[in-house]
Structure 1
């Protein structure tokens, strides 16, 4: 089964807001929750929500206001449940 893509904005506004501090923590969280075989983290050019802080996108869902201080809470509370739900839907028989 192909991996799902999780995009992290690497545009200039997100760069200024600390995306390079968020990235290693995000990689660690993905490893901690065993997502490495099912989700691929990809850098993205601007996701066009610059006024909402660092942004991530999974399928059609955007996650905003991410920063180095809240990445753990955002990942566990918002991003991880969305990923898990999508993966469950993909693995259930049609």
Structure 2
């Protein structure tokens, strides 16, 4: 089974916005929702929409304005449903 990549921008703008605080919580959310077998988290140098805050990408869908404070909400409301529509998770 091939894992789908979930990209997290690790570029300098996202670094300044707190991506290294987002990363461990994102890893925990992936474990909590048992996504390790179907999704692989990958760092991306830049997703080229820096003015939209910390950004993630799954397939062709971007998730923007992520912060350590709103990650849980965005993950459950937007990212998890996008993953579940294409993976048997």
Q: TM-score, normalised by structure 2?
A: 0.97
Q: Report the Cα offset of residue 86 of structure 1.
A: 1.1
Larger-Rg structure: 1
Unaligned runs of 5+ in 2: none
1:27 is paired with a residue whose SS is: helix
Cα RMSD after superposing both structures = 1.1
Encode CA deviations 1:45-87: one digit per residue, 9 max, x unaligned.
1100100000000000000000000000000000000000011
Flag as ranges the 4+ runs of structure 1 deviating above 2 A.
none
Encode CA deviations 1:12-55: one digit per residue, 9 max, x unaligned.
00000000000000000000000001000000011001000000
- Alignment: residue pair count: 89
Please state if 1:69 is matched with 2:85: no
**Paired residue for 2:40?**
40
2:87 is paired with a residue whose SS is: helix
Unaligned runs of 5+ in 1: none
2:87 and 2:29 map into 1 onto residues whose CA distance is 17
